Amino acid sequence: MSAKPTPPVIDNPWRQLRRFTDARIALGRAGVSVPTQPHLEFQLAHAQARDAVHLPLDAKGLVRRLTAGGYPSLRLRSSAPDRAHYLQRPDLGRRLDRPSRARLEQAFADDSVTFDLAFVIADGLSALAVHHHAVSFLDAITPMLRQEGWSIAPLVLVEQGRVAIGDEVAVVMRAEMVAVLIGERPGLSSPDSLGVYFTYHPHPGCSDAERNCLSNIRQQGLAYAVAAHKLHYLMSAARRRKLSGVNLKDEAETSAESPVIGTGTGNFLTEG
């Protein structure tokens, strides 16, 4: 009798560690390679992320949901005519195309009307994130603001938009601050992560140092209520101090709740 042949897939006896991280550990191996099952799981995750990048924004459906939720909205486009241009020409995604600019100017021609705040929704790198989370996030933040009597501009929805397009929109609307809800670059385990970029006194040419960002708003990430609470905190502080960005962040972070602590038991490699 010959010895029993080694099975082609060699499992790892440390699979129990997977409960401590989303990292793809203890995959096992076929020879030295990733076995078929985890290989195909990776391929699926990448396919989901790729599809999220290229999924067109369902602007019509979103406008319908916004209207039903009590958010009147205006639908606009950036100067990037399609995804290929959007990905290669960040400058085009940062400004409105000419018809959109004209529509916006026409709608807000009366310069006696000003707003405390404008919300802009842009597809960014994941329309999926906008589809999944934009309305729910608005539902979490808006009641807090309405209660305090903030004047909120009609919502603007921009297709093929980047963060900085909110500056142009806010200037035309005469809004003192702008919060851009935008689909973040999809990760393998997070194809639908929503980001919120907040700017006090937005103006064309604003630098990133003048903005505050809330990231990773999604089911397994930052919860709507927590994100809304943080944004409300930032906006209130910005209104008081008349600034946003790096200088505001310092104060906000020390006052915000402590960061998420993992579920683990510390560094088990050296402790215990």
Partner 1 sequence: MPYRHTLANSVYGFESLKQLLAKASPARSGDQLAGIAADSEQERVAAQMALAEVPLKHFLNEALVPYESDEVTRLIIDDHDTRAFQPVSHLSVGDFRNWLLSDQADESALTGLAPGLVPEMVAAVSKLMRIQDLILVARKCRVVTRFRNTIGLEGRLATRLQPNHPTDDPTGIAASILDGLLYGSGDAVIGINPASDSLTAVTTLMKMLDDIINKYQIPTQSCLLAHVTTHLEAIRRGAPVDLVFQSIAGTEQANASFGINLGLLAEAHQAALALGRGTLGDNVMYFETGQGSALSADAHHDLDQQTCEARAYAVARKFRPLLVNTVVGFIGPEYLFDGKQIIRAGLEDHFCGKLLGLPMGCDVCYTNHAEADQNDMDILLTLLGTAGCNFIMGIPGSDDVMLNYQTTSFHDALYLRRVLGLRPAPEFESWLQQMGIFENGELCGSERALPRPFRRALDRLD
The footprint of partner 1 on residues 211-230 (CB under 8 A) is 216
Per-residue x/- mask for partner 1, residues 41 to 80, rule CB under 8 A? Answer: -xx-xx--xx-xx---------------------------
The single residue among 40, 98, 102, 268 that binds partner 1, judged by CB under 8 A, is 268
Q: How far is the CB of 44 from partner 1 (least distance, A)?
A: 12
229: left (phi over 0), alpha (psi -120 to 50) or beta: alpha
By rule CB under 8 A, what count of residues binds partner 1? 58
CA–CA separation, 8 vs 81, rounded Å? 50
CB nearer to partner 1: give 14 or 240: 14
Residue 269 β-bridge partners: none
User: Quick one: which of 65, 89, 101, 239 contacts partner 1 (CB under 8 A)?
Assistant: 89
Q: How far is the CB of 192 from partner 1 (least distance, A)?
A: 12
CB of 33 to partner 1, least distance (A): 6
Q: Which of 111, 205, 258, 266 binds partner 1 (CB under 8 A)?
A: 266
Member of 63, 65, 174, 187 binding partner 1 (CB under 8 A)? 187
If binding is defined by CB under 8 A, does position 252 make contact with partner 1? no
**Using the rule CB under 8 A, is 163 a contact of partner 1?**
no
Among 1, 2, 23, 147, binds partner 1 (CB under 8 A): 23
Q: Which residue from 207, 272, 201, 219 is spatially nearest to 246, judged by alpha carbons?
A: 207
109 sits near partner 1 (criterion: CB under 8 A): no
Return the residue of 63, 171, 188, 256 that touches partner 1, per CB under 8 A: 188
- Residue 110 within binding range of partner 1, rule CB under 8 A: no
Please identify, using beta-carbon distances, which residue of 11 and 251 lies nearer to partner 1: 11
Q: Distance between CA atoms of 165 and 172, rounded to whole angstroms?
A: 11
Question: Do residues 224 and 232 make contact, with C-beta atoms less than 8 angstroms apart?
Answer: no
Residue ranges binding partner 1 (CB under 8 A): 6, 10-14, 16-18, 20-27, 29, 31-34, 38, 42-43, 45-46, 49-50, 52-53, 87-91, 125, 185-190, 216, 259-272
